[in-house]
Amino acid sequence: MSNEEKILSAKIYSAVEPSKEQQARFGRFLKSRYGQDIEPEWIRSDAFPGGFRMEVGSDVYDWSVGGRFRQLRDTLIKVPTDNGNIIPLLRESISSWTPEALAEQVGEVKTVGDGIATVVGLDQATYGEILLFADGVRGMVQDIRETEIGCVLFGDDDDVVQGSSVKRTGKTAGTPVGEGFLGRCVDALGTPIDGLGEIEASGYMPVETPAPSIIDRQPVDTPLETGIFSIDSMFPIGRGQRELIIGDRQTGKTAIATDAIINQKGKDCICIYVAIGQKTSSVVRIQQILKKHGAMDYTIIVSASASDTAPLQYIAPYAGCAMAEYFMNKGKDVLIVYDDLSKHAVAYRALSLLLDRSPGREAYPGDVFYLHSRLLERAARLSDRIGGGSITALPIVETQAGDVSAYIPTNIISITDGQIFLESDLFFAGQRPAVNVGLSVSRVGGDAQTKAMKKAAGTLRIDLAQYREMEVFTQFASDLDDQTRAQLEYGQGLMRMLRQKQYKPKSQHEQVITLVMALAHTMQGIDPDDVNKFIEGLIGMFESEHRDICDRIDSTGQLDDDLKQEIIDISAKYRETYK
């Protein structure tokens, strides 16, 4: 109900009773502002020296010394710097400043607990708006009811008490953004937590924005190389794609994301790692690893650890995405990792249940699909008309006992453009990264590969699928014919080829040369345990004696028939000398 439709009352708090002339001025002001004849009630109070405080419904006019000083402070905060010399601008602002009769909407805390506050008196508060509590704690409106609103708190709820005042800010939740955040670790509100001092922000962006429209996007056709053999060759990721990394606990999901970040060194790609519900020690370890490999120079870590409140864990991925959009809108490419969205869904479930929302499947609220769809849809490759920047998203989801049919995994699988499924049995058998070739898929496919990689990969997936099928079929057979034995040996060699050390991403020429050599059956007869040693020696020989081939693949991304045959011939000669 609007102010014009309600019968309003007004109260004036001051140390001295207003005169009749002042009462008449108050009446004229209220008539012009609210369209009603309102006779304010005077209440004696010494809390507002040098002025008064007038309350009209949920609107508050603070004309005390403190209220006018806050107006002046807010004006001075907005003063821009002039080449570092702010004094003349401050003088000009103070000399021209005139206090205004500004209404602040103030409500009252009804109940508080578990990071949730119920507020009354803020009839016009909007969903997602930031509220300011009397002790400085900020909160965000998450539930609007008929007579009250539910608010999640971004601070310690011990500082918020029943009956304390709450102000509207008129702003939606946002985060500071800018180049200064590169190389830093911040919390979900953009505050640095790495002990390296304050960060000078270039702007302030809302954490939730609409996804780019279809007309503002362009097809995903530019590779974003992860440096991971099994992914780049069979499940390629393009700039602007959303590729899910899914698997049980401790199967190498974070390791794949970390390697992908390390591989962006020198490729003009900003990386953002969002840690949701992780142990602080784990986040510190990842930061140290990235720093060791020179990756923190172009990386931002946004951390909402397991010890942080559910509201902070809820808002963290949106804050990370807002930081990514800042760079995307400047025409840059961004890789963002959400580790992981299953913990994010759990945090949102906790908030929803505390806000008395109806539980559904697995106790998640009905809008949990929208929770992640509106986040992941913001990943895109923008058209050249508006800069051509991109956000590539790698969400991570943890499964229980390999169950990809659970609620959250199926939701995110349906939102993303493919998934990389990591299998526990493969991991414990020593196949790392433990990518299940049968269940993994990239819906962008060869469009996100260079022509060299696409041609070199050839029949790799089919050969591996045939090997897995034959392996299961022959595991109980004691007598195998020579052809079957050779096929099994060939498949074992391919599986060993796909094994890769952590933090050792492979360049394009390494992957292309290895694939061409392997699919030509050059490794036939080599003991599976020696496959990686053979490949290392072969690549080393190419890089030292045939550097022109390596540079040609890296620079052009092309692989013609003559070059392919040359690689096969050189590899065959090396195979003859290998012992």
Q: Which residues are tagged catalytic?
A: 443
Q: Between the CA of residue 139 and those of 80, 135, 156, 208, 352, what are the distances in Å?
A: 28, 12, 11, 15, 15
Element (H, E) at 513: helix 508-519
Asked if 263 and 225 count as a contact pair (C-beta separation under 8 A), the reply is yes
Report how far apart the first and last C-alpha atoms of the chain are (Å, whole number).
Answer: 86
Asked if 278 and 312 count as a contact pair (C-beta separation under 8 A), the reply is no
Handedness of CA 126, 132, 134, 135 (dihedral sign): positive
The dihedral region occupied by 521, where left means phi > 0, alpha psi between -120 and 50, and beta the remainder, is left
Give the separation between CA 369 and CA 328, rounded to whole angstroms.
25
Cβ neighbourhood burial of 482 (10 Å; 0-12, 13-18, 19+): exposed
Give the separation between CA 319 and CA 174, rounded to whole angstroms.
7
Give the separation between CA 36 and CA 4, rounded to whole angstroms.
8
Give the separation between CA 449 and CA 513, rounded to whole angstroms.
15
Assign 42 to helix, strand or coil.
strand
Asked if 177 and 291 count as a contact pair (C-beta separation under 8 A), the reply is no
Asked if 133 and 93 count as a contact pair (C-beta separation under 8 A), the reply is no
Decide the pairing of beta strands 269-276 and 333-339.
parallel
Asked if 158 and 168 count as a contact pair (C-beta separation under 8 A), the reply is no
